[in-house]
């Protein structure tokens, strides 16, 4: 009999911006977490029920509205803590109501995470342990969650299939983003798959080979 994978996950696009919220869970305990639950909360809760997952926390990669605008509402509803992002994104979270109104994302609220995250931290989900990588550039406080045994990373808006995160927002920095991708993501291995904040999954190896912005050939 084959053992279940160490981590299970399902991607649920939310908000009109089709942001990839991920429900990830520990098969041994059926306890899980939502990463970047930016909206469509009833649908998120329905997916958790469908898979029999007890959500024990919310994990946030960065402070942009489509990723965390309704995280405070969901945390209060479920009675669970919020972990992440890095404290350098506090200014984005504090602006959530105003930015939500600007983008037509009703109900967005500011919140204070129960735990700010830093480079080298770890977060737990059930029996799973995920490493935290601080990857600034798209926003100054962006973090990535990496589960080494599953060779899976949740990268938010740092990297996409064929592209990279925008750096023209307040306190964005192009060189910081490139340094984070090459210095913190590439060492995780070419066969590591990643869930981006928008669009389809890919692997770091595929992006090193073909990404128009950060392929090895482009950066040579």
CA–CA gap between residue 146 and residue 155 (Å, rounded): 8
Domain ranges of the chain: 8-219
Retrieve residue 22's tokens: 């991920």
pLDDT of 216 above 80: yes
Residue of 64 and 102 predicted with greater confidence:
64
pLDDT of 13 above 60: yes
- Contact criterion met (CB below 8 Å) for 66 and 17: yes
pLDDT 10s digits, 107-123: 999 999 999 999 999 99
Fold (topology level) of 8-219: Metallo-beta-lactamase; Chain A (3.60.15)
CA–CA gap between residue 185 and residue 133 (Å, rounded): 8
Predicted TM-score (pTM) of this structure: 0.97
Q: What is the largest CA-CA distance in the chain?
A: 53
As a whole number, mean pLDDT of residues 167-195 equals 98
Specify the pLDDT at position 104: 82
pLDDT 10s digits, 197-208: 999 999 999 999
pLDDT of 191 above 80: yes
Percent with pLDDT over 90 in the chain: 94
Residue partners of 25: CB distance under 8 A and separation at least 6: 7, 8, 9, 31, 32, 33, 51, 53, 125, 126
Percent with pLDDT over 70 in the chain: 98
């Amino acid at each position: 009999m084959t053992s279940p994978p160490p981590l299970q996950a399902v991607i649920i696009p939310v908000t009109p911006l089709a942001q990839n919220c991920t429900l990830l869970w520990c098969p041994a305990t059926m306890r899980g977490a939502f990463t970047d639950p930016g909206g469509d909360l009833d649908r998120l809760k329905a997916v958790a029920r469908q898979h029999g997952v007890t959500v024990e926390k919310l994990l946030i990669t960065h402070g942009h509205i489509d990723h965390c605008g309704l995280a405070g509402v969901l945390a209060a509803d479920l009675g669970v803590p919020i972990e992440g992002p890095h404290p350098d994104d506090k200014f984005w979270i504090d602006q959530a109501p105003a930015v939500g109104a600007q983008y037509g994302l009703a109900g967005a609220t500011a919140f204070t995470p129960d735990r700010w995250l830093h480079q080298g931290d770890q977060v737990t989900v059930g029996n799973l342990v995920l490493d935290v990588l601080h990857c600034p550039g798209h926003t100054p406080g962006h973090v990535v969650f990496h589960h080494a045994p599953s060779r899976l990373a949740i990268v938010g808006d740092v990297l996409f299939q064929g592209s990279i995160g925008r750096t023209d927002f307040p306190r964005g920095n192009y060189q910081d983003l490139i340094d984070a991708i090459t210095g913190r993501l590439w060492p995780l291995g070419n066969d590591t798959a990643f869930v981006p904040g928008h669009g389809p999954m890919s692997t770091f190896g595929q992006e090193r080979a073909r990404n128009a912005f950060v392929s090895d050939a482009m950066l040579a």
